[in-house]
Chain A
């Protein structure tokens, strides 16, 4: 999946050079490190995130939920789907 046009599905020179391959390999190694760091940071945010979720669920049952643009609807309690032990995973 790439951004942009579908009319060209790759480079005008599809085969990468030795230098480009080494560059990509190095950057992907560093990207994996960044990803792992993000996972750790986001894991550490879990207790705070749980509070934010509680506040959100309270607000949409009192102040309202944005349905479209400025149109809001107060969500009745019975429309809140039970958590049933589901994880609050945010990084995939």
Chain B
């Protein structure tokens, strides 16, 4: 399962389309930001038109909503901009309506958009997680990231949702005016972000303005960074975010992947050795979550690079390229 590398994409450059999938009420328009090629999981900018009304109901997929502009009534609660909602798959949300219309980001994490009218949860609803709703603008404080290594001073976070098992997270982040970070970064996880306000610059992609979006698979270089006037953005990862900093602008995703593995071997030699040499070479097991399985054979980091510089994603595991293999074959 994977989404392609979409970076940068500015949603202000394209028009809205009406969402006409069965189940949804009239008055929803959307711009698709990215979609998983296998599951239809997607991230969209959504406009709920003035007068929009929707009865109670659930999505088949886990869903997140971030309100950018306007207000949205959810049940009897008036949600202002900055409201973030996390709804586990199949859990019913109260009726929704807006008099003046509103603009939101909507994330369907495991499938395409769906809506089934119901004031009860689906009988297979995800009961392991709770529905949450937070006022991210006025109900939370900015935090200095506690990562090591850490982003340069002036990049602050508000964690909106953190998956307790994977540490996948949804977060607001800001760069203060004059922010500058002179290094190149990559991660083991995919990352996506949307600029709610402001423009930042990256050495690879240039300016990303208000309405700018990216979905970036793992191990792809990004940075250095700069923002003259500051930004406010929402970001997500699909796992634990570690900053791998370096200063080689030409390293490939494959090299970055190798470097990350080398770092794991250096920093956690016992774990690395266990992974490599465990006699039975079986999948790991977590006694805290005995029913979980860790078969990653279907994992696709989304990138695959050829010697001619072209790239695509495919179904086999991991990011890799044929660059070195072909060079070796020539010798």
The reply to whether B6 and A34 form a contact with Cβ atoms under 8 Å apart is yes
B232 at the interface (CB under 8 A from A): no
Contact B109 A4 (CB under 8 A): yes
Q: List the B side residues contacting A48 at CB < 8 Å.
A: 206
Q: Which of B49-57, B270-278, B294-302 contacts A (4 or more CB under 8 A)?
A: B294-302
Report yes or no: A38 in contact with B40, Cβ–Cβ below 8 A.
no
Q: A12-B122, A38-B7 are in contact. Are A87 and B300 (CB under 8 A)?
A: no
Assess the B1–A12 pair: CB atoms within 8 A. no
Whether A16 contacts B112 by the Cβ 8 Å rule is: yes
Flag whether B176 is at the interface (Cβ < 8 A).
no
CB-contact partner of B205 in A1, A4, A53, A90, under 8 A: A90
Q: Within residues 45 to 62 of chain A, which ones have a CB less than 8 A from any CB in chain B?
A: 45, 48-49, 52-53, 56-57, 59-60
Within 8 A of A (CB), among B202-247: 203-206, 217, 220-221, 224, 236-238, 245, 247
Known interface pairs A16-B112, A53-B203. Does A91 touch B35 (Cβ–Cβ under 8 Å)? no
Given A1-B190, A87-B250, A88-B249, are A63 and B6 neighbors across the interface (CB < 8 Å)?
no
B183 on interface, CB distance cutoff 8 Å: yes
Given A16-B40, A20-B21, A88-B249, also A69-B153 (CB < 8 A): yes
Q: Interface readout for A30-54 with B: 1 if CB under 8 Å, 0 if not?
A: 1110110010001001001100110
Q: Which of B42, B89, B166, B221 has the most CB of A within 10 A?
A: B89
Scoring A17, A23, A88, A92 by chain B CB atoms within 10 A of each residue's CB, the highest score goes to A92
Q: Is the CB of B236 within 8 A of A6?
A: no
- Asked whether A5 lies within 8 Å of B152 as measured between CB atoms, the reply is no
The residue that B88 contacts in the complex, of A1, A8, A9, A57, with Cβ under 8 A, is: A8
Do the beta carbons of A9 and B110 come within 8 Å of each other? yes
Binds A, one of B71-79, B124-132, B133-141, B260-268: B124-132
Residue of A nearest to B192 (CB): A3
Task: Tell whether A6 pairs with B292 under 8 Å between CB atoms, given A1-B299, A38-B6, A75-B247.
Answer: yes
Among candidates A9, A30, A81, residue contacting B248 with C-beta atoms closer than 8 Å: A81
Q: Which residues of A contact B64 (CB under 8 A)?
A: 4
CB-nearest residue of chain B relative to A69? B150
* Docked complex Cα distance between A91 and B7 (Å): 7
A72 CB → nearest B CB, Å:
8
The residue from A34, A53, A75 contacting B249, defined by CB atoms under 8 A apart: A53
Residues in B whose Cβ lies below 8 Å from that of A34: 6, 9
Residues of chain A within 8 A (CB-CB) of B247 are 56-57, 60, 65, 75, 79-80
A residues less than 8 Å from B34 (CB atoms): 31
Asked whether, in the complex, the Cβ of A4 is within 8 Å of the Cβ of B182, the reply is no
In Å, the complex CA distance between A45 and B202 comes to: 12
Bound CA span A12–B61, Å? 7
Contacts A1-B299, A52-B203, A65-B247; A10 near B39 (Cβ below 8 A): yes
Alpha-carbon distance A35/B299, docked complex (angstroms): 21
Of chain A, the residue at the smallest CB distance from B163 is A5
Task: Compute how far the CA of A19 lies from the CA of B245 in the bound complex, rounded to whole angstroms.
Answer: 44
Q: Are A12 and B90 in contact (CB under 8 A)?
A: yes
Instruction: Let me know if A70 and B205 touch, CB within 8 A.
Output: no
The residue in chain A whose Cβ has the minimal distance to the Cβ of B145 is A69
Q: Name B149's contact: one of A6, A8, A56, A69 (CB within 8 Å).
A: A69
A64 pairs with B182, CB closer than 8 A? yes
CB-defined A-B contacts under 8 Å, sample of 16 = A3-B190, A6-B292, A7-B126, A9-B110, A16-B112, A31-B34, A38-B7, A38-B8, A52-B203, A57-B247, A64-B182, A66-B152, A69-B152, A69-B153, A86-B252, A91-B7
Instruction: A42-B204, A64-B182 given; name 16 further pairs at CB < 8 Å.
Output: A1-B36, A2-B36, A4-B238, A5-B62, A5-B109, A5-B129, A12-B60, A12-B122, A23-B40, A23-B113, A27-B40, A27-B42, A31-B4, A60-B247, A68-B245, A81-B250
